[in-house]
Amino acid sequence: MSTAGKDVSSLKTIIGLEIHCQLNTRSKLFCGCNTDFRESEPNTCTCEVCLGLPGSMPMVNKKAIEFAIKVGKALNCEILETSEFARKNYFYPDLPKAYQITQYDKPLAVQGYLNLDIEGQEKEIRITRVHVEEDPGRSVHVGSGDRARYTLVDYNRSGIPLIEIVTEPDLRSPKEARQFLGKLRATLEYLNVFDSEKEGSLRVDANISLEGSERVEVKNISSYKGVEKALTYEITRQRNMLRRGQKITRETRHYQETRGVTTSARSKEEEDDYRYFPEPDLYPMHVKSWAEDIELPELPDARRARFMKQYGCSFEHAKTLTGQLKLADFYEKVVEQGADASLASTWIADILLGELNYRDMNISQVPTPTMSELLSLLSQQIITDANGVEVLRIALDDLLTMIKSEKIGSSATKTPTPKEIVSKRGLAKVAGDEISEMIELALDENPQAISDYRAGKGQALNFLVGQVMKLSKGRADPGELNAMLSAAIEKRGL
């Protein structure tokens, strides 16, 4: 039935994800080659196994399996009694054996879930399976996107241990998909099985459909931030096709990040096309008993609950602070150094993160003593909130300059502390006689505002507060000024 001219905006969006995560082991999945390949010359972290040379025999990395079991447990999955590797047969230049060793009908773990907080409501996203596989090599396209002039292949990545986490189609919007990936990434970081700062460590394929239409697979989404953009584009494309009466065909599309679009790659393969069969060079694994000996660390939800109870954090602040392992650790270190827990949660979650995002910096680049000292100045009311933000910005700009100078080999100098910034810039809070003089000056210069205030116009007092703030260059406390100005006006009327 044609959908031309019909309202398709109400059609339900159905999204399922396949997340490939590189496990942070020191050696590859089936050989002893180094996994720290990113700074190496192409094709130097390889051997006969990961190059697929005739006669080479794979041997399973025990640590990779332990990591995968840990992930399965954290995602509330059932660890299967028997799991085995299979060969997934397809030809591509970055796959030297012409097959990938993965898991098919006997994965490591199945039937789990991960809970999301969606607008204050808990939503369960079901996990279909968690399985282990080897990463293929990397195709390096010389040129732009799908218009590359030629392609080179680097096999350094070939054989890196991957886990693939497959969800049920329970996600209903690109925003939900991004939230899920953020929660999953945090969980993996807490488990210490993955390093999110390594390029290509998390890659996503998404299956998207509109209710009643065929699903489309989008590949090549290289970051969890790019998922929302890719899915938004693809959903818009499918809705527009349906509005024109066109049929959605089942296919695989690639996300072109530089252009922000998806492009058709090929018709969607069926499972039979890969001719799966058990890997003859590897025995089936019986590792369910290992799960009993693997202890899980404190995970994001548990740490969020502890932050609320131990530090009195609000739900939203605790959720933000525990959304990244390094951020949660940073917060606790700042509090351990004497900062007020409530003040620290507000400033780190609401202000520091925004300033870091603006500068494209990360929390690892901020020394905890810098934040602790700034919070101490605020707690002691040495500086106002407004000037606290100013001090933070100056400190971060100095840090960023130092980081850039170190990258280009310049001699780095020690950055000034918040106390030194306050002293040098004259940002200390004004009080006593100094603020009283500024209040009198503002009242002398604005007699009409005094009359308006006495006539019951409340906004006149806000105007006078602004005038004093201007005279103090932001060093006065606006909360205190209201009472002080009211008292000064009343005194003038006596």
Backbone phi and psi for residue 138, each to the nearest 5 degrees, phi listed first: -125, 125
> In terms of DSSP H, where are the helices of 276-322?
290-293, 300-311, 315-321
Task: List the chain domain ranges.
Answer: 13-293, 300-425, 432-493
What pLDDT does residue 260 have? 86
What pLDDT does residue 225 have? 76
Measured CA to CA, the distance from residue 194 to residue 63 in angstroms comes to 13
Token pair belonging to 419: 């106390």
The answer on pLDDT for 139 being more than 60 is yes
DSSP 428: S
Place of tokens 């969607």: 268
pLDDT band with cut points at 50, 70 and 90 for residue 147: low
Measured CA to CA, the distance from residue 153 to residue 404 in angstroms comes to 32
Token pair belonging to 115: 């809970």
pLDDT band with cut points at 50, 70 and 90 for residue 206: very high
Percent of the chain with pLDDT over 90: 63
Give SS3 for 191. helix
In three-state form (DSSP H/G/I as H, E/B as E, the rest C), the secondary structure along 361-387 is: CCHHHCCHHHHHHHHHHHHCCCCCHHH
Are the beta carbons of 256 and 263 closer than 8 angstroms?
yes
Mean local confidence (pLDDT), 135-141: 88
pLDDT tens figures, 54-75: 999 999 999 999 999 999 999 9
pLDDT tens figures, 20-49: 999 999 999 999 999 988 888 999 999 999
Strand partners, 163: 21, 132
What pLDDT does residue 131 have? 97
Place of tokens 């700074």: 39
- How many residues are present in the chain? 494
> In terms of DSSP H, where are the helices of 152-279?
174-191, 224-243
Give SS3 for 415. coil
Q: How far is CA 343 from the centre of its chain?
A: 24
Give SS3 for 26. coil
Token pair belonging to 106: 């006997």
End-to-end CA distance of the chain: 84
Burial-class residue 309 by CB neighbours within 10 Å (0-12, 13-18, 19+). Answer: exposed
Q: Structure pTM?
A: 0.85
Give the angle 77-81-85 at the CA atoms, nearest 5°: 90
Please report the DSSP string for 214-247 in residue order: --EEEEEE-SHHHHHHHHHHHHHHHHHHHHTTPP
Place of tokens 């780190």: 348
Give SS3 for 118. strand
Mean local confidence (pLDDT), 98-118: 95
Strand partners, 78: 110
Which amino acid is located at 316 in the chain? E
3-state percent breakdown (helix, strand, coil) of the chain, nearest 5 = 45, 20, 40
The pLDDT mean for the chain works out to 89
What pLDDT does residue 429 have? 77
The answer on pLDDT for 246 being more than 60 is yes
Measured CA to CA, the distance from residue 69 to residue 71 in angstroms comes to 5
Mean local confidence (pLDDT), 319-347: 96
Are the beta carbons of 227 and 16 closer than 8 angstroms?
no
Architecture in CATH for domain 432-493? Orthogonal Bundle (1.10)
DSSP 123: E
pLDDT tens figures, 251-291: 999 888 888 888 888 665 666 778 999 999 999 999 999 99
Measured CA to CA, the distance from residue 117 to residue 119 in angstroms comes to 6
Are the beta carbons of 120 and 146 closer than 8 angstroms?
no
pLDDT band with cut points at 50, 70 and 90 for residue 373: very high
Mean local confidence (pLDDT), 167-188: 95
What pLDDT does residue 486 have? 81
